[in-house]
Amino acid sequence: MDQIRTFLEVVEAGSFVRAAESLHVTQSTVSARIKELENRLGQPLFLRRKSGVTLTTAGRRFQPHASTMMHVLQQARQDIALPAEMRAVLNIGGQFSLWERILLTWMGNFRATRPDVAVRAEVGTPESLMRHLADGLLDFVLMYAPEARPGFTIEKLMDQSLIMVATRPNHAGPGEADYVFVDWGEDFEAWHSDQFPQYSAPGLHVSLGALGLRHILSRGGAGYFPERVVAAEIEGARLFPVDGAPQFVRPAHVIYPAEGESEVRAAALQSLRAAVAVEVV
């Protein structure tokens, strides 16, 4: 595990020297750990250059496995430290905007009704969430555009409407310089291009909805955001729906293993469905 932790630190730092400083060990220790790991795997993991190191093809392939192994170790440490009254652990994950929309409220309600179940929550990209689900590190995940995989059930939970809002009522939309394009996924990007083909290069492109919303509230502008998230801002006249702008509807799904369902996971999924039913009314 020291070798794997060192490998990940070198990847993050970009050099053996900076990794050694971060890990509070000598550079020779870092080099020895990486060399031993490469010997164990039978492949070179880094290309050494004067400017630093870069991953080889084998190193890039090993990186997600290394991350998973460190994740498993962390979970094991947490599991054995649980108090005796905790009978189970539920590991869940979701994309950031779904935490804002439903997961935070549901998690609080579920913990209140099941104090004997510890909940561990993870925010991630669709790729990392699906990888951790496939590796058995998560019991279920929530995301917008799940990848169909054998052995997993994809269940639609709800539809989420994205609307264009602006900080002034006469905003013209993507044609204006202060329009912010929020990356809500490939399906949204394709839809946006079809709807506004003449505006393909916005001045500001962000990958996180909360960042885009905070920007326009502080600096002015417009962009697409979940209708429920901006409802209070619209009510307070801090944001205004852009007249004539089309809505984008994106379904949210929960994904979980098709077999081997535990009582805790079944109860959590049922609780989640009930919370969504209240939310969308």
Assigned CATH for 159-250 = 3.40.190.10
Compute the distance between CA of residue 164 and CA of residue 213 in angstroms, rounded to an integer.
Answer: 11
* Superfamily for the 85-156+251-280 domain: Periplasmic binding protein-like II (3.40.190.10)
Q: What pLDDT does residue 281 have?
A: 47
Compute the distance between CA of residue 154 and CA of residue 149 in angstroms, rounded to an integer.
Answer: 9
Compute the distance between CA of residue 281 and CA of residue 266 in angstroms, rounded to an integer.
Answer: 23
Q: pTM surpassing 0.75?
A: no
- 209 touches 226 (CB < 8 A): yes
Question: Where in the chain are the domains?
Answer: 2-78, 85-156+251-280, 159-250
Domain 2-78 classification at class level: mainly alpha
How many angstroms separate the Cα of 84 from the Cα of each of 38, 59, 139, 237? 41, 40, 21, 51
Helix axes 104-113, 263-280, angle to 10 degrees: 130
Compute the distance between CA of residue 145 and CA of residue 251 in angstroms, rounded to an integer.
Answer: 8
Backbone angles phi, psi at 236, to 5 degrees: -90, 10
How many angstroms separate the Cα of 58 from the Cα of each of 8, 73, 80, 181, 272? 14, 23, 33, 35, 40
Among 165, 133, 145, 152, residue whose Cα is nearest residue 239: 165
- 185 touches 250 (CB < 8 A): yes
In b/e form, how buried is each residue of 189-198, taking b as 16+ CB within 10 angstroms?
eebbeeebee
3-state secondary structure of 117: strand
Compute the distance between CA of residue 141 and CA of residue 95 in angstroms, rounded to an integer.
Answer: 8
Q: What pLDDT does residue 280 have?
A: 57
Cβ-based neighbour number of residue 267 at 10 Å? 16
Q: What pLDDT does residue 85 have?
A: 67
pLDDT digits (tens, 9 = 90+) for 36-76: 999 999 999 999 887 789 999 999 999 988 888 887 787 77
Q: What pLDDT does residue 46 have?
A: 93
For the chain, the average pLDDT equals 88
- Two domains, one topology: 2-78 and 159-250: no
Per-residue confidence of the chain (281 residues) as pLDDT tens digits? 899 999 999 998 888 988 999 889 999 999 999 999 999 999 999 998 877 899 999 999 999 888 888 877 877 777 776 766 677 889 999 988 788 778 888 998 999 999 989 898 988 888 888 888 888 889 999 998 888 888 999 999 998 899 999 999 999 999 899 999 998 878 888 999 999 988 867 789 998 888 999 999 999 999 999 898 899 999 999 999 999 999 999 889 999 999 877 899 999 999 999 988 876 54
End-to-end alpha-carbon separation of the chain, Å? 49
